[in-house]
């Protein structure tokens, strides 16, 4: 009986001691939870290709994880810009023209890095068509997406050669393979050399390529760029910084070891042509950073020159404050 009595008294005494201990713990200790990684979504503006290799490398090699992030990379189901602005995704891929339009429409997105330092796009045609300069666009047909900027670029380049834009037949082909367009539907098309130009080389197609930036410095705009929303920059600048630290490492990997970057991309997008991915990755390795001191850098002059060009050709009614459109704050 003596032993039994002692047990009955010990139980409530022990409970009291535990309650007192919990009560006097430092604030937060009793309910503190271990925070999980930040869940991040990156929206791609196109199907997987070598423009995005740095993102996939950063994910595959654990760079995002090291920065406390769990990242999902997906092709956007719609327009990237409004989705990022609305907070439906933390980051996305866009291009300077689209960001410029967004700023003029008070859509609060900001470019935080230039994926490729120079505009590698231009007008391509089969060599046999004899289109060597914009003057040769006269009497030829152009196949494209039907956007006003396409016609404006063709017109602007032709004006420099005193050629007549009215003699160009503009055909809207939609989102059709550009190489198919110049083979079957039109005389020339707008391509990005780092993918479509390399593909043509692999297929043995001889092209004439008129590079936009070499014809007009104002057309050396940033495409693509990484974007985020103003709200995220204001509310979570450390998250943006950590994201960019990991992403920068990913693109440095793509620059220094294009073969590894290509293999990583193929793991995430096995439907891609392996030979094209490897060749494109090798070509882009020198283009991501080019002559900039660091990857991702953006020059105010580039933003100003292109917005002035858009204004000059009536594509925008006013020029935006470019300092609100981009930032180098989060670069390494």
How would you class 27 by CB atoms within 10 Å of its CB: exposed for 0-12, middle for 13-18, buried for 19 or more?
exposed
Mean pLDDT of 218-230: 98
Query: Is residue 117 a contact partner of residue 204, using CB atoms and an 8 Å limit?
Result: no
> DSSP state, 295?
T
In sequence order, the 6+-apart residues with CB closer than 8 A to the CB of 53 are 250, 251, 254, 261, 262, 264, 265, 281, 284
Q: How far apart are alpha carbons 9 and 150 in whole angstroms?
A: 87
Report the alpha-carbon angle 255-260-262, nearest 5: 85
Radius of gyration of the chain from Cα atoms? 27
Residue 27 has a pLDDT of 40
Residue 25 has a pLDDT of 37
Domains and CATH numbers, the chain: 38-117+222-325 (3.40.190.10), 121-219 (3.40.190.10)
Q: How far is CA 184 from CA 37, 109, 126, 137, 188, in A?
A: 50, 39, 11, 17, 10
What are 236-294's pLDDT values in tens digits? 999 999 999 999 999 999 999 999 999 999 999 999 999 999 999 999 999 999 999 99
Residue 174 has a pLDDT of 82
pTM of the complete model: 0.88
What are 278-314's pLDDT values in tens digits? 999 999 999 999 999 999 999 999 999 999 999 999 9
Q: How far apart are alpha carbons 74 and 321 in whole angstroms?
A: 31
Residue 34 has a pLDDT of 55
% of the chain at pLDDT higher than 70: 89
Statement: residue 195 has pLDDT above 60: yes
Q: Which of left, alpha, beta for 87 (phi over 0: left; psi -120 to 50: alpha)? A: left
% of the chain at pLDDT higher than 90: 87
What are 106-153's pLDDT values in tens digits? 999 999 999 999 999 999 999 999 999 999 999 999 999 989 999 999
């Amino acid at each position: 009986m003596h032993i039994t009595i002692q047990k009955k008294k010990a139980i409530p005494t022990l409970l009291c001691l535990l309650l007192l201990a919990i009560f006097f713990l430092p604030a937060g200790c009793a309910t503190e939870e271990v925070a999980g990684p930040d869940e991040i979504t990156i929206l791609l503006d196109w199907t997987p290709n070598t423009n995005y290799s740095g993102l996939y490398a950063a994910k595959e090699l654990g760079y995002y994880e090291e920065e406390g992030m769990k990242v999902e990379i997906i092709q956007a189901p719609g327009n990237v810009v409004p989705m990022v602005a609305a907070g439906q995704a933390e980051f996305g891929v866009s291009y300077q023209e689209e960001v410029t339009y967004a700023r003029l429409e008070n859509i609060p997105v900001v470019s935080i890095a230039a994926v490729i330092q120079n505009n590698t796009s231009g007008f391509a045609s089969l060599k046999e068509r004899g289109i060597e300069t914009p003057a040769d666009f006269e009497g030829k047909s152009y196949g494209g997406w039907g956007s006003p900027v396409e016609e404006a670029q063709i017109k602007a380049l032709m004006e420099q050669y005193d050629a007549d834009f009215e003699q160009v037949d503009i055909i809207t082909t939609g989102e059709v393979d550009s190489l198919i367009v110049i083979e079957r539907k039109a005389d020339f098309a707008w391509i990005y050399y780092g993918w479509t130009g390399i593909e043509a080389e692999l297929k043995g197609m001889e092209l004439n390529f008129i590079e936009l930036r070499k014809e007009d410095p104002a057309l050396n705009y940033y495409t693509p760029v990484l974007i985020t929303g103003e709200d995220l920059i204001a509310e979570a600048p450390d998250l943006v910084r950590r994201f960019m630290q990991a992403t920068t490492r990913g693109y440095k990997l793509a620059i220094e070891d294009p073969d590894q970057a290509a293999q990583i991309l193929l793991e995430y997008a096995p439907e891609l042509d392996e030979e094209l991915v490897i060749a494109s990755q090798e070509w882009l390795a020198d283009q991501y950073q080019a002559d900039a001191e660091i990857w991702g850098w953006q020059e105010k002059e580039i933003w100003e020159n292109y917005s002035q060009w858009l204004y000059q050709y009536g594509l925008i009614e006013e020029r935006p404050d470019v300092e609100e459109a981009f930032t180098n704050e989060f670069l390494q």
